[in-house]
Amino acid sequence: MSLSRSDQRPADDGMRVCAVIPAYNEADVIGNLVAAVRRHVTEVIVVDDGSVDGTGARAAEAGALCLRFDENQGKGAAVRHALATVAPGAFTHVLFMDGDGQHRPEDIPSLVREARVSGADLVIGTRPLDQARMPRSRHFSNSLGSRVASRLVGQTIRDTQSGFRLVRLASLSNLRLRSRRYEIEMELLIKLCRRGARVCQAPVALVYDGGRARSKMRPIRDTVRICLWSLAFRYLGA
């Protein structure tokens, strides 16, 4: 299935952005998130990754196009499924966001502006890794992942685990992705860099507000998994 809706709102400069939001049991936040994101993009796709709380229905009510897995498959699988539905002719860029409230829709223009000005293939929404404001485990996993990734791609990437990023669709042409879980961010970064893609970074807010933005990532287990897969992506051509 390819997406090309007649009610799309084209950007003034020709940029047409499709937002992709993987979501698992986020019924309490997904509706407001979709409504806010729609103000900044042409289309919103929510991948309901096997939720049992009505996440997909809430997203659809808010105006998203919903894709659904009957069982939880993982973030990487959800991203790959969404990308398979996006027609490059309908959109110029895809915006990735998490569905748990960790990314503010009002920061979307910052990423779009950086892509427009720099011509970058990938713009990463970079959060300030403030140890005083982050759970200790998340600060550890983000800091370690960023150090590993920076070495692997040969440039400083300050927040490699940020799922808030804007990618030029043309740069993803024929790019083979295989991630099923949280390693998808590193796979995209490493494989795009191997292609010679230009990577830029845009500042976005750090959101850890009393537990309302609740990542489902398990910092130690998933960080080890991400690092091992990153080595495979970089050196084994996985």
Ordered by start, the domain boundaries in the chain are 17-235
* Tens of pLDDT, residues 68-102: 999 999 999 999 999 999 876 899 999 999 999 88
First to last CA, the chain: 27
- Judge whether 20 and 41 are in contact, CB under 8 Å: no
Mean pLDDT of 12-41: 94
In this predicted structure, what is the pLDDT of residue 6? 36
**How far, in Å, CA of 69 to CA of 222, rounded?**
22
Q: Indicate the CATH number for domain 17-235.
A: 3.90.550.10
DSSP structural state of residue 137 = H
Mean pLDDT of 18-26: 97
Neighbours of 135 (CB within 10 A): 13
pTM over 0.95? The answer is: no
Mean pLDDT of 146-169: 78
Angle separating helix axes 184-194 and 219-235, nearest 10 degrees:
20
Q: Residue 224 — very low, low, confident or very high, per pLDDT cuts 50/70/90?
A: low
Mean pLDDT of 138-142: 56
In this predicted structure, what is the pLDDT of residue 114? 97
